[in-house]
Structure 1
Amino acid sequence: GVAGPTGGTEEKPVGTVWFAICGPDLESTERKFFSGSRNEIQKQAVDYAIEFLLTEMN
């Protein structure tokens, strides 16, 4: 992902984060876009990662 404040491109803008989970009976990926400062994007990504994990594991 790209948390910023620089490094984004048109195809992968700042705030782009990929999530993935894989196990014996589970394989899932998701791309999300977050906005804000670098710290805000990182916090949003962590919060979403926990939500993603809990949702996919149930």
Structure 2
Amino acid sequence: SDALVGDDDPFNSKQQRMMRDFYDDKLSQTLAAQHRSGIADLLIKQLGQREKP
């Protein structure tokens, strides 16, 4: 998420970057605990449609 914030942005302080890192870490842990991200389901759905006559 740091890529979305410019160098001169008021939300680009050391503390803001640290909080974004905490948030990103927690989000990745939550998604990993669910054992799915939704991407696999979408790919199966999309590719499965091609097999139908």
Query: Fold match, TM over 0.5?
Result: no
User: Which TM bucket (shorter chain)?
Assistant: 0.3 to 0.5
> TM-score normalised to the size of structure 1?
0.40
Structure with bigger RCO (C-alpha 8 Å, 6+ apart) = 1
